[in-house]
Structure 1
Amino acid sequence: MTAPVGKALEVARAKAQADVRELRQRIGRLSDDAIDLVLRSARSHYAWTDKPVSEELLHELFEIMINGATSMNTLPARFVFVRSPEGKARLAKSLKAKNIDKMMAAPVTVIVAYDVEFWTHLPFLFPHEDRRPHFEGKPEHCETTAFRNGTLQGAYLMIAARALGLDVGAMSGFSNAIVDEEFFAGTPLKSNFLCNLGYADETALFQKLPRFSFDQVCSFA
């Protein structure tokens, strides 16, 4: 892919600006119900029904998530949708004991990972300027950029899943080293966190835990 230039660039920019204006006119903000669904009243879930999650829905989930913003459009996140008995058995090797049943019961468990060699894809993802020299030969910068932006994409995935009517339950009680050896050996990918997807059994929920108020954690400068 090459970046448009000249008249083609003017046309592309004008269309992008018009699309944003049209969207803002069409949708000023989400409804309170929509906000409740994706964040305000959403819960992390630990128990699951046996209702399946289709491959088509996972494709739709990805198509929504991939549009979330990342630095220089780096898109370093990589996702493994673990849903087969064999895949679940491999993933179970990495989990703390209390998390195994949660993962095994979920229709899908996503390994949210990141690619430390994301920058090699920048000619496609950021075609109007060669930004590879910002990362080549700089492993610490690559790691920080990939982890930060890959985590953002993991959060986009969770919000998009809720928007599609799925429930989510993120997990960090596992060994990254074991996941990386089991699923990513010989690759530049590293695991970040896990997220169960499916349709929750709400009977396992307890009361929602406290949240900070604005004044406790926010300030102006």
Structure 2
Amino acid sequence: MPDTNLAPTTALDDAALDRLFRKARTANAWQDRPVTDETLRQLYELTILGPTSANQLPGRFVFVRTPEAKEKLLTTVSSGNQEKTRTAPVTAIIAFDPQFYEHLPRLFPHADAKSWFTGNAAFAERSAFLNSTLQAGYLILAARSLGLDAGPMGGFDSKKTDELFLAETGWKSTMLINLGYGDHSKTFGRLPRLGFDEAALLA
């Protein structure tokens, strides 16, 4: 039975495209303005609507927001990322569940997708990594759609982060994303991008 609740296939207006892409910037400084738990829940609910292979949804998210948790996280963050992480209202630890496939009977019930991954840990982990990274991109766009700014980072000790925050879950961290309301007076201008003919082919 087709889904009758599908959104119409019309283009977003310029204001939406500006917010999501054209005028959006990576935030490196933050306003002293909190992000509510309700906003974080809305952020999650939007993020998980993005497509993943076989609806795997391997992404896992830890929203670090209390002073105690933030101090613990800062022990894992590289020196160049310290200040912007310390002052961000929230830092999301983006992780994946290596055993995501245990949920596939519920998430992808029309095929025996769990059997594709059981007994092949390397294949499962690669798939979890790729699809959770895709979900990180959805989270950034979802944050922008809710009026938040985002600052993704790779400069952190993932092993130590896993030990401090994820040891009881078995999840594995891949990146950090600072979240909040950016101080745009300290935001860089748009850096150069590669042109279409440099980075794309029409086949």
Q: How far apart are residue 174 of structure 1 and its match? A: 0.6
Q: Bigger shift: 73-82 or 124-133?
A: 124-133
Helix, strand or coil: the match of 2:140?
helix
The counterpart of 1:49, out of the listed 31, 48, 65, is 31
Matched residues in 2 for 1:174 and 1:141: separation?
25
Helix, strand or coil: the match of 2:174?
strand
CA deviation profile, 1:108-141 (whole Å, cap 9, x unmatched): 0000100010001111111122211110110110
Cα distance change on mapping 1:63 and 1:186 into 2, 3 Å:
closer
Helix, strand or coil: the match of 1:59?
helix
CA deviation profile, 1:85-122 (whole Å, cap 9, x unmatched): 11101111111112111111000000010001000111
What residue number does 1:174 align with? 156
Q: How far apart are residue 188 of structure 1 and its match? A: 2.3
Moved over 2 A (4+): none
CA deviation profile, 1:138-175 (whole Å, cap 9, x unmatched): 01101110000000111100000000100111111111
Matched residues in 2 for 1:83 and 1:197: separation?
10
The counterpart of 1:61, out of the listed 43, 50, 61, is 43
What residue number does 2:60 align with? 78
Cα-Cα RMSD: 1.1
Q: Bigger shift: 200-209 or 155-164?
A: 200-209
The unaligned stretches of length 5 or more in structure 1 are 1-12
Helix, strand or coil: the match of 2:156?
coil
The unaligned stretches of length 5 or more in structure 2 are none
Q: Aligned pair 1:19/2:1, yes or no?
A: no
Q: Is the 8 A contact 2:148 2:180 kept in 1?
A: yes
What residue number does 1:212 align with? 194
What residue number does 1:124 align with? 106
Helix, strand or coil: the match of 1:219?
coil
The percentage of counterpart residues that share the same residue type is: 46
Q: What one-letter code is carried by the residue in structure 2 that aligns with 1:131? A: A
Q: How far apart are residue 186 of structure 1 and its match? A: 4.3
Q: TM-score, normalised by structure 1?
A: 0.89
**Structure with the largest fraction of helix:** 1
What residue number does 2:72 align with? 90
Count of matched residue pairs: 203
Helix, strand or coil: the match of 2:110?
coil
What residue number does 2:141 align with? 159
Matched residues in 2 for 1:79 and 1:136: separation?
23
Matched residues in 1 for 2:114 and 2:187: separation?
46
Matched residues in 2 for 1:131 and 1:60: separation?
28
What residue number does 1:3 align with? none
Q: Is the 8 A contact 2:25 2:188 kept in 1?
A: no
The counterpart of 2:183, out of the listed 201, 216, 219, is 201
Helix, strand or coil: the match of 2:5?
helix
